[in-house]
Structure formats: structure tokens, C-alpha cells
Structure 1
């Protein structure tokens, strides 16, 4: 098989597992200058060509052999290594190191051509590497620390190492940075599209298993691990077959177990030691203690939309000596060593509207080459690009510029700031396990693969309108442009006739012509409604901007039939400005096919459900919104 054919095969597989980003043309991009400083033409100019050493063996501490491709600067117009020493950019991938030159899982030639050695390694149990894949397990972190030391000692290395990559590769960066210890060769990381808590960011939403993003990824991950050895070890077909069989058998303890647990409603369907070991947020204090700076990039429509800002707040809190799980307070100091850039991107087009290459170069030039380029000259390291292109920066998350304001569910299916005064009042919705509306979820949970489909179906009003049995509540037209900036908390009080309930809620922007744009969404399984107070972020009046549900088997409790029950639902963070004249809509549904599904047992407990959503003075329902500017209407 030729290398070009192999690259096509791996790129196709990579796309199926949601990690092949689309890139915007140079004309479509804008450079985020707020934190990059004034990069000079000389700093951005290509200085070298690239020469690659393929399938280099690395013998690890226990005898396993991992394999790497080494991308070196070459003298322009030749294939001869350039003279001198260079910092190393290390990429750890489970998707095949020979995938090509683009994407979250590849080596970026832009950096190599500007004076970096690029090392891309197949992590253990994937591609051409031996061993057991651990999906971010402890041994993988130890491998990362060992690979950092190996990279620093490479011929031609100046002894300084940075980490790069997105999704799985970004998560591995965080764990590696936590495992290297102090005074290591690792000087900076650049995690893109990275989870803080894979269980809550990817596997479940409010206790509902996300079949598309989790089980779909598991199936694709298994397929890749069994097929990529033939691409990575094409020079030795027998070794490729050996590795393929080894990787396939290793799928039993992870892919098969996790899939069966989800279907049978046990084991890893709940949060516990397995998932806690794999949550980057739990090691952020070690990253800071080891002195490793981090520039996080995330998307407002990414599968890890929830987690990326939490990485920022966790790192800043660790630096300030506070809990990594707490919201930042309005007076704590911040550092430019930890920054975040979030924009209107899904998992497959991260950074497509900015010059992400220039930002990566500036970050690594500063920390690995000592270049004073302005990348750290900021007191507001949380950078936002909104869907309309507007950009701004703040210091904290939740934003110090935002205050929480409450919109109540009111009569006539309206939303307004005025609290209900009547002692009765409710709206009825029906449980429907199937929902086929056109919503941004089809883009978010397929990591951008359905981007074009959503662009087309979202233009059809019949496909974006509420369906029979759903509820929707609209504000009056906004009188001023209104900016939302942060996590959104929804409190519903509902009387149900079944011991299980399900809620899928979407916050939407409705234009004067009736067109609908999904801003963000959230979900909650009724039996998973328990709250962990110490981990939940407050909004106002005893409610939550970010409710934290323990999602343990012990915390599960049936819904009391016929009694009004409170549900606190996390809506993932919103960074968007609604223009004057637009309306804000809260859509309440009970299904999100094929993304959020439940097990057969839970389904049987929910079938036939009738929900009376309360909106009265005795049992109010409301949404708490982070308003950075503008005003909300009193009613409709």
C-alpha cells in the first residue's frame, strides 16, 4: 500500500471518529491580536523545509516499543537536516501518526518550518505501538512523561519540549503535564478541543447516555486501533497483523465493557473511579505545581463545550491556591500563563475563523525560545470570538462582566423577568423518546460531520419549530443588543405521572423573520436529579448557574409520581450576543434522537409520561442567564 493511499485510509477513518477538521480559507480567517501581540513577518516566515524519519522505535521503561515519526527542519530546497538545535513539539496520538499534515491528530508542519522538531508518537496499544491502550489511564500519563524526556534528549534538540494536539491528544497533554514533575523539559502545552471531565462532557448529558458522541466514538476508536497498524507498519505485514490482533483483543476491557454497561444500565454508565481517573480537571493542580503553562482552545459547539472553560477556571484557581472545581471569584488574581480561546467552532473545525497557526507559534516561541512577542501581555486571558465575529476578552470564568438575571416561565408560553403571582398555572408536555427536529445537536455530537446538513435543514422553519407535545417559551423582542456570557442554569418544577422523566432543553435565538439559531442545550434524566452542593455553582436565590449531579448509582432516585419535583438542569455555556428585535426562546423536549437515549429499563419507566410544567408563585420554573450587557424583557 502506498503512503498516499495509507494517508487517505487513515484520514477517512479519522473523519468517521470525528477528528478531521475542516479549515477555512485564509480570506475567511481573522487574527486574534488581543493576546498574540505584534507578530513580525520574520517570525512568521518559513525558514526551513521538512524531512521525516518514519517509524522510529522507542523502548519504554517496561520493554514495550512505541513508534514515532520525527519531523525535522531541513535546509530550504534540500532534504538535509538543518544545522543547529531546536525545541521539540511532541504529539501523542491514538489515530495513527502517519495521518498527514492537517487535523487535530497530526503534526503541524507550520511549526517545523519555523524551527521546531516535531515528534508524533502512536500511544501504547494503537497504530504501530505495542502495549495496552488505556484511554487516558495512569500508565498513559507515565508514558507521556517518559516521551517528554526522550524527546528532550533527541539529537538536534535544545532540551525544551512543548505538547500539541486536539481532542484525545489534548487530554493526553494535560495528564502528561501533571506527570512530568517539577523542572522537567516540558515548558508549555497547547490543548485544543479538550475535555475537563469526559464522563460529563462526552459520555452522558444529565445522566442520559450520548449514543452518538460516546458509543459512536468507542466503535470508531476500536476500528481505528485494529486497522491503523496496517498503515503504520506496512513495511512489516506480519508485525502489522500481530499488532492489529493485539489491539483488537484489548478492546474487550474498554470498548465492549463500556458499551454493554451503557445498554445494561450498570458499571461505567455511572460516574466512579474509572471516570474520575480520566478527568483532566482532577490533575490541574499538578499541572500548575509542575510550572507548565497552557493555552486552551475550545468551541462553543464542540463536544467538549462544557469542559473547556472549566479547564481555564481550574488552572487559574490552582494558580491562585483555590479549588480547581470552584467558580472563579471576582477578586482573585489571574495569570497569563493560562489562557483560553473559544469561538463558534465544533469539534471538526477548531480555530477555523482565526489564525490558529500564528497563535500556536507565538505561544511556543515565547515559552520554548524566549521570544518576547506579546502572547502573555494580557490581564484578560479568557478570549471569546462570538458567532457574528465580535471578539472580546475577560479575566474570569464565570465572567466578571456578567451578572445573573432570571427569566420566569409565564402564561401564554412566554418568558419574562416578572415573577408569577398566581397560585396555580402549568403547561402540559408529553414524553416522546423520539425527536427528529433539526437542531445543532446533529453537528455538535457528530463533531461537525453533519455541519452541512444542519446548515440546510435549519433554513426550513417547519423543521426548527417546536413539535407536538413539546413546550416553548419566548421573550418579547429584545429592546437592546443583549450579550450572554457563561453557563446557564434552568430550574423546572414538574408534576409527572411516571417514575422516570427526561428533559432535553435548548436555548434559541429567534430572528424577526422566524428563523431559529440554537445557542446551547442541556439535558437531565429525572432519576439523576440529585445535586452535589459543594460542586454546584450558584446563580441567585438558591439556584444554580452550573448544577453538578453526582451520577452515581447510590444517588439515583425514582421520580415521585403525582408530586411536584424540582429539576436543576445544566445548559452548556453561551457566548453570544442577541441583536435587538430578536427573541430568546426556551425549548423543552423529552427526547433528542439519536443522541440522548436511555436503557430499555429506564425507557419502560418513562413511557406514557405526562408532564405538567409548573409556572406559578407556589412552584416557579425559571432560567438564570449570565447577562454581560443589554436587558431582558419583563414579559410578552
Structure 2
């Protein structure tokens, strides 16, 4: 991804958007390039030109359960894996360190390692290749780092407080973890045979932890690079509270195994040879489940309208968004991995924009300005990937995520000027068909936000309605024909369906189904569709849905899906968004607006104090955050939006609000006085209806 490569790709429709932006009038692509091919992703996508990962040079030695005492006496435990010579002796080094802080148990990863990379894994690889591949992917996701050890790194994986083989009590992203991390970093930097330079990495919670760690360290710390995968931006907004809709699918994916079973299993796996310590850790973890800030009490409290159902100091103290300025001030290069089928698909790109803004001295909360320069020190790679399996997608081909990470760490921990940071387009996106989309900014400046208005008869176009009256009725239905086989559930269930179907070598068949199919007369959700596109058109970035509606009840709820409609009528789900009507207040400091002032990236405070009443019979303005999409709409395809009111079983609303919601209906306005519309980032104008 060197700068010279970007210049060579200027003839493509996608690749270096800046040429099109500077030479093509807004709303059209030249006919000479409209039929051009798109760069396609392959196994080398994301790697610097001419660079290849070093071969495996070293063996692997291990020191298990190294104890790290915290300031309050709680003992954390870490496994240290280091390069060895052929004789088994430690290699001379010194070596930099890759460090993972995990909430899911280092010994679970070790057990999976024996089932995949070692032990019976190699013996079963020929007979059950898909099964072993999935076991390796889970092992990697859990922080297993021997790929790097064999290429000259020391790998450290630490069980954070109250998890794995570590003592203490756990609460999601608790501030105490950052205090612990300061001591962990200091301890790791002083490991024998190390250079003292550390790179942090990890997926999901592990990635969140590394960003929060980097955000509390002083300048000049041993942390020299970050590689967070699927970390999001704001845990409450990204994971739990989808603007008044509680994410039940995510909770269901986490509560049984990661939250309840693993904390009790891991002490047995890691400390069975030290029964006294095993019992001590086991009891600590067991008692965590009964603490006020434990997960189960918190979930029950939220369902009973407790404070954790709302944003506030508890959640803000756990928000990555609030440490981005410190990471940028510390000048810690960060390579973010996101997924368009990830439940954190909105938050991770926001973190990219926040880091770029903060590094340039702008406020972290807003979108990147369209004319903003960008730095290759902060990059984002996103693709059609689910939460647990970044880089894995059989229809487009897998990326070598290990190699991309190695190139990043080699650049910043070994001073290998391999070119991975030498790019003018640090945002890299891959769509479901393998098309590569790149830009300098997020939102993507080459895909300006356009208003598409809801029209009579189900049209969707740039023509603002002129009639004095006109509306479409939406009846409240908590289900909206939702099932567990649709894109919304697949994504929010943490990609578990994709993980399971990968065992037989296929992609999740539910992942492309829109969440709101119509089943007349049971469910009749309004549908609005553009005319067919006449040239390849890129949809890239966040989408806003501005609805003017009249509710018949003192509560309202909206759920929006966006899909690509092929000429044969096949629908491919692209993205979705939800909003409970009383959550409609905007945090203007964090809300993203397009150049014309329309809301492109709504941020609703989500606090109890910010809730607004819904007044029956009055026209009310709602701004829905529709999570971003990166997708090339081919000629003949149409963009479609469906309006619903529920998304069960993926989401539920606050249980106490259902009495006010049941029996309700909403008249969604589409007239000159109140014209509902989408704010959509597109590279070309939507054709007028024929």
C-alpha cells in the first residue's frame, strides 16, 4: 500500500477516488470510467508492495502463569512465549513484545491451540480442514500469538482482573483495568531479552482494552503501536443500547459461554496443578456474578429500567471515544480492523475518524472534513466480515490478517520501513463482491451525502415532494416479521452463525437476508426503492434517516433496513438502524452532519435525562442512525429502504414502554411541509424514475 501504488491506480473507478473527485462533476461518473473494472481484493490486499512476511525462524518456549501483583495486592497471571533456537534454548534477541490483555482466558486459547495448531490439529487438518481452520481462527481471536514469536517477537497474553487465571473481580471495561494496565506495561517492558518496545493487539474486548490502555499512558511509554480488531468506539452505543432498542442477540451470544462458563472453566485449565490458587481464583470469579456491577445483575437491572439501561457516567467511563485524543497526542500508530457484518460496524470507523481528527488538532467527535489531509499512522481496513472472523469471507477470498499485523508491527517495533504507512488513502474497504474502495477520509469524501426523499408509490429519489399532503402508515409491530435468519440477527449474534457454517466450509446463508420481509396482511412495512442505477455507484459510509411522523400513541419506534435489489428481484441486506421515539434527542457535539446540514451520523445521548415525550397527533422529527455500508451498486441494481417498527428477536424495547406502544400507528410524512428522506453517501446521482 505504498504511495506509488496509489498513483498507478488512478484510472480505476475505485482505488484513488481523489482523481474522480477533482475531475468529475458531482453526481456523475464519466462514461470512459463507468464501465472500468474495480480493483479486487486478494490474499495480498493490505500488504505493502514487494513485502512478504519473514519465514518461521524460531521455535517457541513458554513460561506459564507469571504472577503480576497489582497495587491493591490482586494477582494477575500471564503466559510469556518467546523465540527459541533449534536446541530449545532461548534465542539471543533482544526482541520486541506483542501484548494481549484478554477477558476470555489465556488457557482457553491454549486449549484451542492444542486442538488446532498443535496436538491433534495437524493430524485432523486433511480430514476436517474447515473445522481446524475455524479452531485456528478462534485461537487467534483469543490472543494466541505464535505466528509472531516464530518471526522474532516475545508474545505476552495476560488475563485481566477477575478473568482466566487471575484473581479479583471483573466488570465490563471497568476503569480499574486501566490502572492495572499501567503496571502490566511497565512489567512487560522489563522482561528479559526484550527491547522494551511493545505492540498491543487483540479482537473485540481485547481490542477495546488495548485502546483504553493506550489512552491512559503518558507520552513516551513503551507502547509503540496498536492493532485493534473490531473494537468499536462506545460500548453502550455500539453493543447494548441501539438508540432505545436493547440488543438481546448480542447478550444471548455472550451470557452463556464468555460471561458465565469461561470464568469458571479457565482457573481449572490454568491452575489445576496449584489447587489452592485455583480455588481462590474460582471463588473470586464466582462471587463476581453476584456483585452489583456483575453482568447478570446488570442485565436484570436494565430489564427492570435500571440505570445501566441508559448512558451515563458508568458507560462514559468505559468509552473508547474519550481516550482518542490521548492516543493521538502520544503518537501511537494504530491500525484498526472493522467488519461490515460486525455488530461494531459503526463504532470502529468513528474511532478511525476520531484518531485522524485528533492527530490533526481537530475535535475528535466530528466527521473528517472533506478536504482534510490524513496520516498513514492511523488506518482502517474493513470488509464483509463477521465479528469473530476478521478477514475471513469465502465468496471474496480470505485476507492474510497475520501478515498485515506483522507488517504493521515490523514497521513500528523493528523500524522496518516496509511502506505499510506510506499511503494517502488510509481507509481501505472491501465490499461483499471483493471490490476495493479507498479514501483519505471518513466519511468518504468522494461519496458526498445526498438526500433521497420518500415518494408516493414507494419511490426513492432526489426530487423533493411538492404535494401539500401525503404520508404512509406504519403500524407498530414488535416483530416486524423478524426471525433469527436475517442480517440483523446474524451480525448482532456476534457472528456465531458464520462461525458455525464455516465448520462445513460455507458462509452464513442468513447474513444477506433483510430483517423486515413483508408478510401481508400480517406485516405490511412501507418500502421505497430508487430507479435502477445506470453505472457502477459506490455507497460508502454512514447513512441518516430523517423521518417526520405522526404517532397515535405516546410512544413510537422505528427500524430501518437498507438493501440492494438485483434486476431479478434478489435482495441483499446492506445495513440497518433503530430508534425508539423518546430517544430522539441529538447530542450535537457527537452528531455528524452533511454539508447541507442534514444528519448523516446521529448520536443520541441515551441518558435517562435526555428522553423526550412523544405527543400523539403532532408531526415529530426523528433522526435514525443507520450503520455504515461499503458497497458497489452495479448497473441495473436499485437501492431500497424498508420502514418497520420492531426487530425481534434481535432487539427489544424497554419492557415498560410496550403498553404505550401496542396498538400504535405512525403516519410517515412525505410532503412539501414534512418531507422524510435518507442522507446517503453515493459517488453518483440516483437516476430519475423512468
Structure 2 residue 322 is the aligned partner of structure 1 residue 310:
no
Structure 2 residue 509 is the aligned partner of structure 1 residue 456:
yes
Residues 486, 513 of structure 2: 8 Å contact kept: no
User: Post-superposition shift, 1:577?
Assistant: 0.6
Match of 2:654 among 599, 612, 617: 599
Q: 2:489 corresponds to which residue?
A: 442
Counting only pairs closer than 5 Å after superposition, residues 123-162 of structure 1 correspond to structure 2 as: 123-162=160-199
Structure 2 residue 476 is the aligned partner of structure 1 residue 423:
no
User: Post-superposition shift, 1:425?
Assistant: 1.0
Q: 2:567 corresponds to which residue?
A: 512
Counting only pairs closer than 5 Å after superposition, residues 359-398 of structure 1 correspond to structure 2 as: 359-398=404-443
Match of 1:104 among 119, 128, 141: 141
* Corresponding residue SS for 2:301: helix
CA distance in 1, matches of 2:316, 2:350: 15
* Corresponding residue SS for 1:110: helix
CA distance in 2, matches of 1:574, 1:460: 15
User: Post-superposition shift, 1:494?
Assistant: 1.1
User: Post-superposition shift, 1:236?
Assistant: 2.3
User: Post-superposition shift, 1:36?
Assistant: 2.5
CA distance in 2, matches of 1:199, 1:459: 26
Counting only pairs closer than 5 Å after superposition, residues 198-217 of structure 1 correspond to structure 2 as: 198-214=235-251, 216-217=253-254
Match of 2:49 among 37, 45, 49: 37
Q: 1:358 to 1:466 in 2, by over 3 A?
A: farther
Match of 2:315 among 275, 278, 283: 275
Match of 2:676 among 601, 611, 621: 621
User: Post-superposition shift, 1:216?
Assistant: 4.4
Counting only pairs closer than 5 Å after superposition, residues 84-483 of structure 1 correspond to structure 2 as: 84-98=93-107, 99-100=109-110, 101=113, 102-214=139-251, 216-219=253-256, 220-251=258-289, 252=291, 253-352=293-392, 353-434=398-479, 435-437=481-483, 438-451=485-498, 452=501, 455-457=508-510, 464-465=517-518, 468-483=523-538
User: Post-superposition shift, 1:314?
Assistant: 0.7
Q: 2:684 corresponds to which residue?
A: 630
Residues 549, 669 of structure 2: 8 Å contact kept: yes
Match of 1:590 among 645, 659, 665: 645
User: Post-superposition shift, 1:631?
Assistant: 2.9
Q: 2:24 corresponds to which residue?
A: none
- Please tell me the root mean square deviation across aligned C-alpha atoms, in Å: 2.1
CA distance in 2, matches of 1:624, 1:115: 48
User: Post-superposition shift, 1:532?
Assistant: 2.0
Using the size of structure 1 for normalisation, the TM-score is 0.91
User: Post-superposition shift, 1:115?
Assistant: 0.4
* Corresponding residue SS for 2:589: helix
* Corresponding residue SS for 1:107: coil
Match of 1:50 among 54, 60, 72: 60
Using the size of structure 2 for normalisation, the TM-score is 0.84
CA distance in 2, matches of 1:392, 1:576: 9
* Corresponding residue SS for 1:179: coil
CA distance in 2, matches of 1:521, 1:299: 14
Residues 409, 416 of structure 1: 8 Å contact kept: yes
Residues 423, 618 of structure 1: 8 Å contact kept: yes
Equivalenced residue count is: 605
CA distance in 2, matches of 1:624, 1:540: 11
Residues 61-70 or 565-574, more deviating = 61-70
User: Post-superposition shift, 1:330?
Assistant: 2.4
Residues 253-262 or 569-578, more deviating = 253-262
CA distance in 2, matches of 1:337, 1:138: 27
1:275-296: CA deviations, max 9, x gaps?
A: 0010011011111222211111
Q: 1:34 to 1:595 in 2, by over 3 A?
A: closer
Structure 1 unaligned regions, length at least 5: 1-27
CA distance in 2, matches of 1:188, 1:485: 28
* Corresponding residue SS for 2:157: strand
Residues 169-178 or 126-135, more deviating = 126-135
Match of 2:666 among 602, 611, 623: 611
Structure 2 residue 627 is the aligned partner of structure 1 residue 577:
no
User: Post-superposition shift, 1:458?
Assistant: 6.9
Q: 1:203 to 1:454 in 2, by over 3 A?
A: farther
User: Post-superposition shift, 1:590?
Assistant: 1.0
CA distance in 1, matches of 2:222, 2:215: 13
